[in-house]
Amino acid sequence: MKNRAVELSDENGQMGAPGALVKMKNGPGGGNGVLIYFTGADCNVEAERAVATGGHIVRVKMPIGQYGFIALILDT
C-alpha cells in the first residue's frame, strides 16, 4: 500500500484540505482503486457537498474507533 499525507495551507497559514492519498497494490480498476481521505468537522457536510455536485454516498457516516468517523463517497 502506498500513501502520502497532505497538509495544505494558504499563503496566510490558514488550513485548507489536509488529508491523505492511499493506493493499494492490486486494487480494482475502474475508479475503485484509489481512496482519498480528507479531514473535516463533520463528514456528513462533505458528503452532502459531493452529492450536490453529482457524487454518490457509498457508506453513510460511520465510526472508525479512536480516529473518529468517515463517510465513503464515489465521485468522478
**Could you tell me the pLDDT band of residue 60, with boundaries at 50, 70 and 90?**
very high
Of 64 and 63, the structure prediction assigns the larger pLDDT to 63
**Predicted TM-score (pTM) of this structure:** 0.58
Greatest mean pLDDT among 6-15, 39-48, 50-59: 50-59
pLDDT of residue 65 exceeding 70, the answer is yes
Q: Cα 47 from chain centroid?
A: 9
Query: How far is the CA of 28 from the CAs of 5, 16, 19, 33, 36, in angstroms?
Result: 22, 30, 22, 5, 15
